[in-house]
Structure 1
Amino acid sequence: MKILTIIGSPRKKGNSYQAARNLEAKMKRKGTYEFEYLFLKDAHLDACKGCFNCVSRGIEFCPLKDDRQMIQDKMDQADGLIIVSPVYVMTVSALLKNFIDRVAYLCHRPEYHSKNALVLCTTGGIGVKETLNYMEMITKAWGYNVAGKCGLVTAPWPATAGLNKKNTSKLEKSAQQFDQSLKSMEKEKTRKIKVGFKDYMGFRIFQSISSDVKEYMPADYQFYQGKEYYQPAQIGILTRMLTGIMLKVVFFMMRDMGPGDEK
């Protein structure tokens, strides 16, 4: 299986890269994996202009023509994704944040529901929880099943034996989780996934809103029409019924907040 590792550090072979390589070594002891590294520092990615075209009209209307599509092509071709970033002021690096901004449409129209991901960060001290939670939230919004989160403390001075042991344990646990999720998904490729209430409710909210705002956001409308879910899925009768009831409640509460309304 092929794993794409996106490195968000501005340093070529800093702590983030070394952590990713250590994770790779542990993964390769568990299965046959091919790793490819993509360094955002070497990619030509212009800063997002905030024009909203990718969300409202479609990614093909993005005015920036650079390496964004190349990166997504690699994401399409890979069986799994690892996103790595140093912690900079309690969040991801500017390089990774710009890439996240450049694919903002994926949070509306996720394309990776059949794939697994792992998020990894390194920090000199604090910010692991905040950074990993953000990375997980975004990667899930793209559709990935986030099979692991790993935060390592890599202070700018020699690590103690205890810290090295703790980091090694975290990497081993994350490698185990990611390996199991990849193998499990490979076995279940031909099966329909089971969708619970929370995930189905989120899908139906997006689908319903896309119909209400189709003149303003035609790309969302075209994406959601005719879909039962993001991918072939088993959706129980009770889940459908409860979702239908909750949708009525949600949209009743939002009835005065339609397009064009002012508050």
Structure 2
Amino acid sequence: MKILCISGSPRGEHSNTFRLVKEAVAGITTAERGVSVEYIHLGSLRMEFCTGCGTCHRKLLFCPLKDDVAPVLHSMQEADAIVLASPVYINHVTAQLKALLDRSSPFIHCQMLTGKYGAAFATSGGGPHAMVLDYLKEYLVSCGVQYVGGVSGPMSRFDTLKEEARILGADLAKAVKSHIAYPDQLSYMEKRREFFKSVISSRKDEWKGEYAYYNKKIAGFKT
């Protein structure tokens, strides 16, 4: 079982959000043996902003920007479960995490992470935080990832959040091992596939990479 943990905090291993992730991993490794865990701290990587050039749609996931994003996207494809974590910066994820997600739009267009499971974590200084989990859930499910759950809250509740994170970690391990299905999410994914099937088909001469992926992996087009 491969678990990928991506932290969007610029504080890296010293961030409170990452401390929650470590608690979740403790829950995972307690519940399941033989787990491989990869941690990625986006704050230590060089990441350019998406320029909207569309190359990743024409040449699936290829980006002309030369930075550290491609290996992260590869790790997301290789993992069985993906954990996304971010402190709350003005009611949203950090710029680091948003920059990564903006560079992964083929994941959404083609649901390239289908079959994986996910969870999310967010911490705030005391203000609102639930909207970050909502956003990360929407992102994961749109990519084809079944969302097991999330933990968020202010740092004043950190001891409680740690316990919730451990429980969520165990639930995530169980979902991966038992291939648990979330019918509402699967139904939403199906609707999204139909939507992007139409979009990609209408631009098949321009988005050749995504069109070819749909024909091979998802089917439903006539070439």
Normalising by the smaller structure, the TM-score range is 0.7 to 0.9
Q: Distance in 1 between matches of 2:194 and 2:47?
A: 33
Q: Distance in 1 between matches of 2:78 and 2:134?
A: 26
Equivalent position to 1:50, from 52, 55, 72 = 52
Q: Which residue of 1 aligns with 2:190?
A: 200
Offset of 1:122 from its aligned partner?
1.0
TM alignment of 1:170-209, pairs within 5 A: 170-185=164-179, 197-209=187-199
**Larger RCO: Structure 1 or Structure 2 (Cα < 8 Å, ≥ 6 residues apart)?**
2
Compared CA separation, residues 227 and 207, structure 1 to 2 (3 A): farther
Compared CA separation, residues 30 and 83, structure 1 to 2 (3 A): same
Offset of 1:224 from its aligned partner?
2.0
Offset of 1:204 from its aligned partner?
2.4
Compared CA separation, residues 164 and 71, structure 1 to 2 (3 A): closer
Per-residue CA deviations over 1:72-125 (Å, capped at 9, x if unaligned) read 222233221111110000000000000011112221122111111111111112
Q: Distance in 2 between matches of 1:153 and 1:179?
A: 25
Q: Which residue of 2 aligns with 1:84?
A: 85
List structure 1 runs of 4+ shifted beyond 6 angstroms.
Answer: none
Give the letter aligned to residue 114 of structure 2: H
Q: Distance in 2 between matches of 1:66 and 1:37?
A: 18
Q: Which residue of 2 aligns with 1:3?
A: 3
Q: Distance in 1 between matches of 2:99 and 2:188?
A: 29
Q: Using the TM superposition, name which of 216-225 and 74-83 deviates more.
A: 216-225
Task: Give SS of 2:31's match.
Answer: coil
Q: Which residue of 1 aligns with 2:113?
A: 112
1:91–1:127: 8 Å Cα contact kept in structure 2? Answer: no
Q: Distance in 2 between matches of 1:108 and 1:151?
A: 28
Offset of 1:178 from its aligned partner?
0.9
Normalising to structure 1: TM-score of the pair? 0.73
Paired residues, number:
216
Compared CA separation, residues 148 and 112, structure 1 to 2 (3 A): same
Give the letter aligned to residue 209 of structure 1: V
Normalising to structure 2: TM-score of the pair? 0.85
Q: Gaps (5+ residues) in structure 1? A: 231-263
Identity of aligned residues (%): 25
Equivalent position to 2:41, from 30, 39, 42 = 39
Q: Which residue of 2 aligns with 1:122?
A: 123
Q: Which one has the largest radius of gyration?
A: 1
Q: Gaps (5+ residues) in structure 2? A: none
